[in-house]
């Protein structure tokens, strides 16, 4: 009975978070005229796929076009398969539904260990992800709910570290099924996708100042969180705050969550003040206020574990 009550509370809380996130996302999309923001590419690609066209050869997408038509399709085909259920809806509603569901699933996964982890929803990364309808909440949920691990295939630069650090038999099997399905639908999608990737604007955190310091994570390589951080730092990503949401898998206590979330806002407002939104990337701000604090938490947790082993509790 207690288990059923707890499950019901988790479901209700997750639905509330998802509903609020979806409403806020929809309001922003409508107000700013952003179509479905960055989800537009997956939404449009899914519709082209249903129409029997190759979404990677869309001639309406090119540099010089207004956002969000200013770049080709950078997402792999599994992302389009996730977007298929939302493709019948108008773009603003599709984006809001996608993000609301992603936030709800993330909340449900986080509440497995209590409500403490919900502090991630107060981070700058989550709010930037909401504003631009990003995949990071859904990908992060895949680390917590094995059946959602295939979401890692929708954004491999974030998903590959999860596949390597949070593997599960059920999740890997589901990922394989999704991958095989994608090849059955469009056998050439990998070649087409890689052809478009040559035009992207991603960067490796490790190679941005002061990114080389992140190699210190090698000292804690046996710690899964250290491996996650280093793998994320080694893969190209958008250094504009929202792709870094997975770093919130690292904090353990309320203080650690607040520490990382507070610094995330300091980094965001620092970038906004000193660089401004006209600068599309914020590498030093992301590395200094997101990655390095997460690295510090890993060492802090390791120090606490070592002290606990040396001085075990008598109870």
> Is the per-residue pLDDT at 112 higher than 60?
yes
> Is the per-residue pLDDT at 5 higher than 80?
no
> Is the per-residue pLDDT at 135 higher than 80?
yes
Q: Name residues whose C-beta falls within 8 Å of residue 294's C-beta, 6 or more positions apart in sequence.
A: 229, 247, 250, 260
Q: Report the chain's mean pLDDT, rounded to a whole number.
A: 93
Whether the CB-CB separation of 136 and 264 falls below 8 Å is answered with no
> Is the per-residue pLDDT at 280 higher than 80?
no
Joined together, the tokens standing for residue 289 give 């206020």
Q: What is the pLDDT of residue 201?
A: 72
Of 173, 178, 188, nearest to 156 (Cα)? 178
Whether the CB-CB separation of 103 and 9 falls below 8 Å is answered with no
Mean pLDDT of 113-133: 93
Q: What is the pLDDT of residue 278?
A: 57
Q: Helix/strand/coil (H, E, C) string of the chain? A: CHHHHHHHHHHHHHHHHHHHHHHHHHHHHHHHCCCCCCHHHHHHHHHHHHCCCCHHHCCCCCCCCCCCCCCCCCCCHHHHHHHHHHCCCCHHHHHHHHHHHHHHHHHHHHHHHCHHHHHHHHCHHHHHHHHHCCCHHHHHHHHHCHHHHHHHHHCHHHHHHHHHHCCCHHHHHHHHHHHHHHHHHCCCHHHHHHHHHCCCCCECHHHCCCHHHHHHHHHHCCCHHHHHHHHHHHCCECCCCHHHHHHHHCCCCHHHHHHHHHHHHHHHHHHHHHCCCCCCCCHHHHHHHHHHHHHHHHHHHHHHHHHHHHCCCCC
List, in sequence order, every residue forming a beta bridge with 203; answer none if it has no partner: 237
> Is the per-residue pLDDT at 198 higher than 70?
yes
User: In this prediction, what percent of the chain has a pLDDT beyond 90?
Assistant: 83
The values of phi and psi at residue 59, to 5°, are: -75, -10
Weakest mean pLDDT among 19-23, 65-69, 77-81, 215-219:
65-69
**CA 128: distance to chain centroid?**
11
Q: What is the pLDDT of residue 310?
A: 61
Mean pLDDT of 245-254: 96
> Is the per-residue pLDDT at 279 higher than 60?
no
220 or 281, greater pLDDT: 220
Weakest mean pLDDT among 180-189, 194-203, 214-223:
194-203
Q: What is the pLDDT of residue 296?
A: 98
Q: What is the pLDDT of residue 219?
A: 97
Q: What is the pLDDT of residue 6?
A: 86
Joined together, the tokens standing for residue 263 give 């610094």
Mean pLDDT of 28-40: 96
**Residue 240: exposed, middle, or buried by beta-carbon count in 10 A (0-12, 13-18, 19+)?**
buried
CA dist 252 and 258 (Å) reads 10
Helix axes 224-234, 292-310, angle to 10 degrees: 160
Weakest mean pLDDT among 1-15, 36-50, 54-68, 139-153:
1-15
Length of the chain: 315
Per-residue pLDDT band for 304 (boundaries 50, 70, 90) equals: confident
Mean pLDDT of 120-145: 97
Of 250, 249, 233, nearest to 296 (Cα)? 250
Per-residue pLDDT band for 4 (boundaries 50, 70, 90) equals: confident
CA dist 125 and 145 (Å) reads 20
């Amino acid at each position: 009975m207690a288990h059923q009550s707890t499950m019901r509370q988790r479901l209700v809380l997750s639905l509330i978070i998802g509903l609020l996130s979806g409403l806020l996302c929809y309001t922003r999309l409508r107000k700013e005229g952003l179509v479905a923001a960055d989800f537009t590419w997956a939404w449009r690609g899914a519709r082209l796929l249903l129409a029997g066209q190759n979404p990677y050869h869309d001639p309406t997408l090119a540099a010089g076009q207004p956002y969000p038509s200013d770049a080709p399709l950078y997402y792999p085909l599994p992302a389009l398969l996730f977007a298929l259920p939302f493709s019948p809806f108008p773009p603003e509603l599709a984006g809001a539904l996608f993000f609301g569901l992603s936030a709800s699933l993330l909340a449900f996964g986080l509440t497995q260990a209590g409500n403490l982890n919900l502090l991630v929803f107060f981070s700058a990364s989550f709010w930037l992800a909401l504003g631009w309808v990003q995949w990071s909440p859904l990908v992060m949920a895949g680390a917590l709910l094995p059946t959602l691990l295939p979401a890692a295939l929708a954004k491999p630069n974030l998903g590959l570290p999860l596949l390597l650090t949070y593997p599960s038999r059920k999740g890997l099997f589901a990922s394989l099924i999704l991958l095989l399905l994608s090849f059955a639908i469009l056998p050439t999608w990998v070649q087409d996708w890689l052809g478009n990737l040559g035009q992207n604007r991603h960067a490796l955190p490790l190679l941005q100042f002061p990114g080389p310091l992140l190699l210190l994570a090698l000292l804690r390589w046996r710690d899964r969180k250290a491996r996650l951080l280093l793998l994320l730092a080694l893969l190209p990503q958008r250094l504009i705050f929202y792709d870094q949401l997975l770093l919130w898998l690292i904090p353990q206590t309320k203080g650690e969550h607040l520490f990382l979330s507070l610094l995330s806002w300091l980094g965001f407002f620092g970038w906004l003040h000193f660089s401004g939104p006209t600068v599309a990337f914020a590498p030093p701000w992301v590395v200094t206020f997101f990655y390095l604090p997460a690295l510090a938490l890993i060492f802090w947790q390791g120090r606490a574990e070592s002290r606990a082993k040396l001085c075990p509790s008598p109870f």
